[in-house]
Amino acid sequence: MADENNKTGYPNKPIDQTEFMKRMRAIASDLWSGKEPMDPAMPAAPAPKKQNPPVKQPPLTIDNLWKAADETVDWTDALAHETPTDGLTSQNLWSFYHRHAEKVLEGDLTIYAEVLRVSNPLGELTEFADGMTIRAPEAGRLECLFNGKQAYMEKGGKKYLSAMGVRIARDLLACLPVSEVGVQAAYNGKTVMKVTYAREKLMHKNFGFLDPVTLTESCGATFDC
């Protein structure tokens, strides 16, 4: 006899559990367009992050030499922290800065020389000169002497010398807390440029749109090229 609670008139037939699960999967398959439904208890998988392609820096030439420069070393930060705060400096180099920061801030010329030796701030420029020397005559000043390269001197001496001068000054001012950098260039045994770049003169400049000759002349440069 039919169950009184069954209004369909058909006998209640228990559904096999396995068959029930097959039916539910078929329904879910339709709803999800052939994909397995996501467990609501599971968090959604994060969308893959779009990787930005690395920025390719243009090769260094006389036409863009002055536009780039080393990152400035913050010696007060180096004194206060044992690990890098700029996200750029390696731990080994930062540890070196941290050990010597107090002496650097005191203007110790011996430590200046050691910092210049280890950090090699003008390393990128060696291919643009036939020899280069740096010295620290006093706590507030660094000086660089370089010998001009014949190919660049013949192509455009004044622009070449100015581009080198600005880049040298920017890199040395970034390396040590001096107030000025003197740059002297020699060629064929004679001085062809002499100039002092004061830190304040190079501040707040857009070097991407700056003429190195104009800037160098505004710093009191003398040329003989």
- Picking from 176, 180, 178, 179, the residue whose alpha carbon sits closest to that of residue 97 is 176
Rounded average pLDDT over 69-91? 95
Residue 58's pLDDT is: 75
Bridge partners, 222 (sequence order): 194
Q: For residue 89, what is the DSSP state?
A: S
pLDDT greater than 90 at residue 38: no
Range 214-224 average pLDDT: 97
Distance, CA of 25 to CA of 21 (rounded, Å): 6
What confidence score (pLDDT) does residue 223 get?
97
**Which of the four pLDDT bands, split at 50, 70 and 90, describes residue 107?**
very high
- Per-residue pLDDT at 7 exceeds 80: no
User: Minimal CA–CA distance to 96: which of 112, 115, 77, 113?
Assistant: 115
pLDDT digits (tens, 9 = 90+) for 169-217: 999 999 999 999 999 999 999 999 999 999 999 999 999 999 999 999 9
Q: How far is residue 92 from each of residues 26, 46, 88, 99, 196, measured CA to CA in Å?
A: 61, 36, 12, 11, 33
| Distance separating alpha carbons of residues 74 and 76, to the nearest angstrom | 6
Quick one: CA dihedral 65, 186, 123, 76, positive or negative?
negative
Arithmetic mean of pLDDT over the chain: 83
3-class DSSP state for residue 31?
helix
Mean pLDDT calculated for residue range 148-177: 96
| The pLDDT of residue 28 | 41
Q: How many CB atoms are closer than 10 A to CB 159?
A: 18
Counting every residue, how long is the chain? 225
